[in-house]
Amino acid sequence: MAESAVVEAANRTAATSAFEPRIVAFVCNWCTYAGADLTGTSRIRYATNVRVLRLPCTGRIDFMLILQAFGQGADGVMVSGCHPGDCHYTAGNFHARRRWIVFRELLDFLGVDVRRICFSWVSAAEGAKWADLVNQFVQEIRALGPYREFPRRLPQLKPAEVC
């Protein structure tokens, strides 16, 4: 099937069926990414809406990235890492957690819809939890509808292609 056809098909579904949330997930390499791998090896099905971006540790996840994701038109953002105490780098997730506490308070105060950000701990053993989490979050976002009110990052401001 040629890409054009694929895209058409995709558009068709989009047009006919209900709105399909666009979800970006920022996950750490050691727990949640591995957990999502396990979901795969266990062949547990979940919604196609999520695009996973891999980082070494939740400590590395810059809050700006979450804004950027919304700015790129994401309807929901997932952020996930190792359970407290399991961090491959001993404490990255603890630092991340503090940052999230503050960031979340701030966004909520600004009226950003924090229900569209899903923070979670998913260990390398919790393949099933990852699938459930995604499915559940996709449903929640579907219920909330597209995040139209959030300002988009103007396309012409994308940095020029790297040469």
- Shortest reach from residue 2's CB to other proteins, in Å: 6
- Shortest reach from residue 142's CB to other proteins, in Å: 14
- Shortest reach from residue 64's CB to other proteins, in Å: 6
Alpha-helical runs (H) found in the chain? 3-16, 32-41, 63-71, 92-110, 127-144
Under the criterion CB under 8 A, does residue 6 sit at the interface with other proteins?
yes
| Interatomic CA distance for residues 116 and 151, integer angstroms | 15
| Interatomic CA distance for residues 84 and 31, integer angstroms | 11
Under the criterion CB under 8 A, does residue 69 sit at the interface with other proteins?
yes
CB closer to other proteins out of 37 and 125: 37
- Kindly write out the interface string for residues 18-57 of this chain, putting x where it contacts other proteins by CB under 8 A and - elsewhere: --x-x-x----x---xx-xxxxxx-xxxx-x--xxxxxxx
Q: Which residues contact 102 (CB under 8 A, 6 or more apart)?
A: none
Residues numbered 101 to 120 that lie near other proteins (CB under 8 A) are 101-113, 118-120
Residue 22's Cβ-side half-sphere holds a number of Cα atoms within 13 Å equal to: 12
Count of chain residues binding other proteins (CB under 8 A): 91
Residue pair 114/107 in contact (Cβ under 8 Å)? The answer is yes
- Shortest reach from residue 92's CB to other proteins, in Å: 5
